[in-house]
Amino acid sequence: MQFNSKQRTQAVKTLKETVFDVVIIGGGITGAGIALQAAASGLKTALIDMQDFSEGTSSRSTKLVHGGIRYLKTFDVDVVADTVGERARVQKIAPHIPRPSHMMMPLYDEPEATFTPMSAEIAMEIYDKLAAVSKDSPYVHKLLSAEEANDYLPMLDQTGLVGLAIYLDFQNNDARLTIENIKQAVTDGAVVASHIKATKIVDAGAFKQVQVNDVFRDETFDLTGKLVINAAGPWHDRVTEIADEQTTDAMRPTKGVHLVVKKDRLPVPNTLYFDSGFHDGRMLFVIPRADKTYFGTTDTDYTGDYAHPKVEQPDVDYLLTAINRRFPKAKITLEDVQASWAGIRPLIGNGDYNGNTTKKDVSDDTLHALDTTINQYFDHEVDRKKVNQALQDLSGGAKSASSVSRGYKIEVENGIINVSGGKLTDYRLMASDTMKFVAKALSDEFSQAVTLIDSTNYPVSGGHFNPNQVDAEINRYAEQLESLGILESEALELANLYGSNTPELAKYIATGVSAPHLSITETSTLHYAIEHEFVLRPIDFFLRRTNYLLFKSEDLQRLEEPVIEEMAKCLTWSAETKAIMREEYVRLRDETQLKTLKEEAGR
């Protein structure tokens, strides 16, 4: 599979000439997942995005595929069971991306604490069972005392600390997961193009016509499809409006902000998850990645520009106050922030990611009763049925998994399938549910039989290796790079990034020539990104295909100009285009690094 600006020209031509089975609007994780399944099922598939792929919310998440242990506070067992099940499926189809890690949850004796040590222990026992974590797994949960917690986290505030819960969770790379789905869709025949904006959807006989604008060339043309899928995330209502010209207000988007500091400013051995300390029902994450630590997130209602949500002073104040309260010795300031991002959650109505709109608290007596039943189970005094019954009693009766809202909605209206809400962790399931609507609509309206793939067994690009042997397989790919003279640490990093596509990268390394001021791996990574990963602008490369801007900012000064020069050469930019690209990159880099806020604070 190849994609570069020449292929984009060809893709645009094909978009104009083909009658597609499905035209998908939105190349975030939702649209990407649907495109993969549609193309793999043999459908003529078009995918467009008005920005770069994953430039919306799907590069701006907390970057976790998390099981949602918080829901076990209120014994929403079905939600957690579904989520950890789905997490395992995503790990299987994209084994190079989500990675298991220890999640640490400091427990404080304070009003409205999410968990006490006892409720955390019970929640983790249930959680391990739901996630099939066996007793001999390195990820089996543990509950440490406050003193033991101090050994792990010496900078953590000890006042009121009553324990540290440790359990399994998964780290993720949201933008890479999205692009790997899109690459696989293209390999399977999908026609995709970024920077193509849908502006109107009209009927054209039995088909739908999507009027689009090629943002790069300012050219307008039509796409024709039997079905249109609205996978526009936070823009869902806007896309609904271009179809029926009526104002829709189904979404209640909220903004979430993350800040990145150097690891030595906030050293944590693993992901941390704790109550914000503001008694606002919010929990925050602190996550180590590369040589950095990032933390977030805020959660505030949002009505501004969805394409450019900004980190504002109140966001920084909230996060720094919360972090410095939990890590009083750290004294993190705005000056410490090396990078940041703000994302818009595509929430429906008043729900959260999982569709929950109500909170139910459980009394201590009820918890004791459950604890007794669970202990009896481990002592072989009661069977599993009894535990299940106890859990169901707590969760307010037996809700079947299908009747639990997962926080996403799929609605069909006049040939348009509107997909809204959800979370990254559930993307495969959302896509698979959407495909059932697609198959039915194509059958009912076009007498077209569709055999859907088993998406639980269909890897994304880069994920074509044994998911039960991730470390061994990644090491094998890394060794291929090492045999080309690449240092072990760099080889491992690249193998982790590209998975089963590493041999393709190795070809570039073996046959390529270093661009001026770039190493052979940097040159090859850039060429691979241009040729295979739809990179059209410097910001696509530095922010989403690689995470230089977020987690390797020390390298930027050295890399920026050589990368822009090499892109200009590969993509045959005029001097004017190069200047525009550079200006855009610098503006977005400065925004990411909070330059304006820092300048204002310095005045």
Q: Which of 7, 58, 432, 502 binds ligand FAD (CB under 6 A)?
A: 58
Tokens of 317: 């104040």
User: Any contact of residue 553 with ligand FAD (CB under 6 A)?
Assistant: no
The DSSP bridge partners found for residue 213 are 197, 220
Decide if residue 251 touches ligand FAD (CB under 6 A). Answer: no
Q: Which of 8, 292, 326, 345 binds ligand FAD (CB under 6 A)?
A: 345
Told to check if 288 binds ligand FAD by CB under 6 A, we report no
Size of the site for ligand FAD (CB under 6 A): 40
Match 């069972």 to its residue by tokens.
129
Minimum CB separation from ligand FAD for residue 479, in Å?
A: 32
The alpha carbon dihedral of 513, 518, 519, 521 has a sign of negative
Tell me: does residue 523 bind ligand FAD (CB under 6 A). Answer: no
By the rule CB under 6 A, 225 interacts with ligand FAD: no
Q: Which is closer to ligand FAD, CB of 7 or CB of 194?
A: 194
Buried-exposed string 227-246: b where 16+ CB fall within 10 A, e elsewhere: bbbbbbbbbbbebbbbbeee
Contact with ligand FAD (CB under 6 A) among 15, 24, 48, 113: 48
538 near ligand FAD, judged by CB under 6 A: no
Q: Is 232 in the site for ligand FAD (CB under 6 A)?
A: yes
Told to check if 26 binds ligand FAD by CB under 6 A, we report yes
CB atoms within 10 A of CB 381: 11
* Identity of the residue, 60 or 537, whose beta carbon is nearer to ligand FAD in the bound complex: 60
Sort 3 into a burial class: Cβ within 10 Å, 0-12 / 13-18 / 19+: buried
Can you tell me the distance from the alpha carbon of 230 to that of 205, in angstroms, rounded to the nearest whole number? 20
Decide if residue 409 touches ligand FAD (CB under 6 A).
no
Binding to ligand FAD (CB under 6 A) within 63-102 occurs at 63-66
Which residue shows structure tokens 């990644």? 474
N- to C-terminal Cα separation, the chain: 51
> Is 425 near ligand FAD (CB under 6 A)?
yes
Calpha distance 291→86 (Å, rounded): 30
To ligand FAD, the closest distance from the beta carbon of 533 in angstroms equals 15
* Least Cβ distance, residue 117 to ligand FAD (angstroms): 25
Q: Where are the alpha helices (DSSP H) in 289-426?
A: 313-326, 364-378, 384-394
C-alpha 172 chain-centroid distance:
7
Q: How far is it, in rounded angstroms, from Cα 396 to Cα 38?
A: 38
Does residue 114 interact with ligand FAD by CB under 6 A? no
Q: Does 552 bind ligand FAD (CB under 6 A)?
A: no
Q: Which stretch binds ligand FAD (CB under 6 A): 47-55, 361-369, 372-380, 553-561?
A: 47-55
Distance CA 508, CA 524 (A): 5
Q: Which value, in Å, is the radius of gyration of the alpha carbons in the chain?
A: 24
Give residues in contact with ligand FAD (CB under 6 A).
25-31, 48-51, 55-58, 60-66, 197-198, 231-235, 239, 256, 297, 343-346, 422-425
